[in-house]
Amino acid sequence: MKSSGSTSEQSRIYNERIILRLVRQHPDISRVSIAEQTGLSAQTISVITSSLLDRQLLHVAGKVKGRRGQPSIKLSINKKGAYGLGINVDRDHISAALLDFSGACVLLIERAVSFPTEDMAKQIASDLIEEVKVTLGDDWSRVQGIGLTRPDYMDSWLETLVTDQDQLSNLDSLKNALSYWRSDAFETWLADSTGLVCFCENDAVAAATSELLLAPGVLPFDFFYLFVSTACGGSVVTNGECYFGSHGKAGSFGLIPTATGKHGKWILEALSLSSLRRFLWSNQLTWPQSDETWLDDVYIKAVARWSNEVAGEVASALAAVVALYDPEAILIGGRLPATVLTSLIGELEKEVAEQSTLPIPPIRCAQTGQTAGVLGAAVLPLYEIFAPQKNLLLLSSKDKQRNTRERP
C-alpha cells in the first residue's frame, strides 16, 4: 500500500481553510480563541490571518476588551470577499443562486421548464447569469467559480418521470432532444461563456455539501443525505466529507429497486415529485398552488396514503443503508412540500424500524430546505476552494483523481 505525505505548502493551505471554517462558525472570534481551538501556534495564526485580511477574505470586527497587554482583534468573514454562483438544471426547472462568502443567499431566481433541451437551457442560463452580473456590478470579479448541478439519465425513465401530457404523447422525440445531457457539453459551455471554472456534481452531493457549509449549528460527522426532486438520489457523508466510492457511485439510493414496483421499479421513480403528482392525479386532485391547500383534509389524507405506500417501497433499502453505513442521522432535503416531507418522515421511521433490528438513527429534514439543490450548486466553488478537505494533505490521493461521476 502506497503511503502519502504532504508538503509545507499543502499544510499551510489546509490550516488556512481550517481557520476560515472556524471564523465562519464563530463570527468575531479572536486569534487567541483560534489558537485554543486549533492547536496552531500564535505565529502561524498571525501569518495566516494577516494573509486572509490582505486578501479581503476576513475583516476586523473589533477588539477584545478586558485582556492585559495588547488588545486582540476579533475576526469575521468578509461577506464581499468572495462569491459562489450556482446553476441547477433539473427536469422541471432551471434556477440560479448567488452566495456571498458568509454563505448568505444574495440572489435566488428560478424558471419553470419541462425537461429542458439544449437551446432552452442555454437561453435561460444566459438570462440568469446576466441578472447575477447586474446584481454584482464590479464585484463580479470576486466570483470564484460556477457550480452546476443537474441530474444524469435525463433521457431515462421518461414513462414515469414525465408528467406533461403533450410530451408523453411524443416520448421518442423528447428522448432524442434530451440526449444532449449525456455529455459534459453544458458545463463546458458554462465555463466558456462566463470565463469561470465550472464545478459539477449531482444534486444530492451538492445538497449534502450545502448542508456541510451552510447549516447552522453542529452537524453529525456521518450522515446519509436523501435528496428528493423530480427524481431522487442520495449522498454519503463520512467524517464530515462526502464519500464517493471507487467509481464515484456511492450513495446512488435512487438506483435501488423498490419493494413491489407499485410506484415504479426504481426508488428514483417512486420517491419523487413525479410520483406524488401521478398519485394526486389518480385521485382526481390537482397540484396545490399554495401551502395552505396542502392542509386541506382531502390533501392530508391523500399525502398520508402516498407517504405510507412510498415508505413501504423504500424502507428495506433505507434499512440496508443503516446496516451497511451506520449513520448518525438520515437527512432528507429537496423539493417536497413541508407537509409532505413531515408525513413521509413519520412513515419512514415506522417502516424502517419494522425492517431493522439495529437502532434507527433520527430521520429529519435537512436544514437548507427546498432550495438545497441550487444552493448546493452555488456552494460548490466556495467549498472546493476554501473548505478544509483532507485530501489536500495527500501528495497522492484517489479523491484528487476520481473520475467524472454520473448524476442520478
Q: How many domains does the chain have?
A: 3
Say which CATH number the domain at 25 has. Answer: 1.10.10.10
Instruction: Answer whether 242's CB lies under 8 Å from 403's CB.
Output: no
Instruction: Answer whether 376's CB lies under 8 Å from 210's CB.
Output: yes
Its domain, for residue 23, covers 8-77
Confirm whether 215 is domain-assigned: no
Say which CATH number the domain at 225 has. Answer: 3.30.420.40
Confirm whether 190 is domain-assigned: yes
Q: Are 230 and 354 in the same domain? A: yes
> Which residue is it, cell 443562486?
97
Residues present in the chain in total: 408
Indicate yes or no: pTM above 0.75.
yes
53: exposed, middle or buried (C-beta count within 10 Å: 0-12, 13-18, 19+)? middle
Q: Are 275 and 325 in the same domain? A: yes
Band of the pLDDT at 371, cuts 50, 70, 90? Answer: confident
Which residues are within 8 A (CB) of 318 and not within 5 positions of it... i.e. 6 or more apart? 330, 348, 352
Q: Are 113 and 44 in the same domain? A: no
> Which residue is it, cell 498571525?
46
Phi, psi of 320 (to 5 degrees): -70, -40
Q: Are 389 and 340 in the same domain? A: no
Task: Determine the residue type at 330.
Answer: I
297: exposed, middle or buried (C-beta count within 10 Å: 0-12, 13-18, 19+)? exposed
Q: In this model, does residue 277 exceed pLDDT 60? A: yes
Q: In this model, does residue 248 exceed pLDDT 60? A: yes
Q: Are 13 and 27 in the same domain? A: yes
pLDDT confidence of residue 221: 87
pLDDT confidence of residue 71: 63
Q: Are 267 and 335 in the same domain? A: yes
Q: What is the pLDDT of residues 122-152, one digit of tens each?
A: 999 999 999 999 999 999 999 999 999 988 7
pLDDT confidence of residue 232: 93
Cell numbers describing residue 8: 509545507
Nearest to 227 by CA among 156, 303, 149, 121: 149
Q: Are 22 and 53 in the same domain? A: yes
Instruction: Answer whether 104's CB lies under 8 Å from 79's CB.
Output: yes
Q: Are 73 and 87 in the same domain? A: no
Percent share of the chain, pLDDT over 70:
92
Greatest CA separation for the chain: 78
Question: Which position has the higher pLDDT, 83 or 246?
Answer: 83
pLDDT confidence of residue 189: 97
pLDDT confidence of residue 263: 96
Angstrom distance (rounded) from CA 202 to CA 102: 23
DSSP state of 113: -
Element (H, E) at 241: strand 241-243
The b/e string for 135-161 (b: 16+ C-beta within 10 A; e otherwise) is ebeeebeebbbbbbbbbebbbbbbebb
Instruction: Answer whether 343's CB lies under 8 Å from 304's CB.
Output: yes
Q: What is the pLDDT of residues 159-215, one digit of tens each?
A: 999 888 888 888 999 999 999 999 999 999 999 999 999 999 999 999 999 888 877
Angstrom distance (rounded) from CA 374 to CA 87: 6
Q: What is the pLDDT of residues 24-45, one digit of tens each?
A: 888 999 999 999 999 999 999 9
State the average pLDDT for the chain.
90
pLDDT confidence of residue 16: 93
Strands 232-238 and 72-77, sheet pairing:
unpaired
Q: Are 302 and 337 in the same domain? A: yes
Confirm whether 2 is domain-assigned: no
Nearest to 212 by CA among 81, 374, 379, 34: 379
pLDDT confidence of residue 404: 37
Phi, psi of 59 (to 5 degrees): -140, 160
pLDDT confidence of residue 63: 83
Q: Which of 1-10, 71-80, 261-270, 329-338 has the lowest mean pLDDT?
A: 1-10
The total of other beta-carbon atoms located within 10 Å of residue 62's CB is 12
pLDDT confidence of residue 72: 79
Instruction: Answer whether 75's CB lies under 8 Å from 23's CB.
Output: yes
| Three-point CA angle 226, 230, 232, nearest 5° | 25
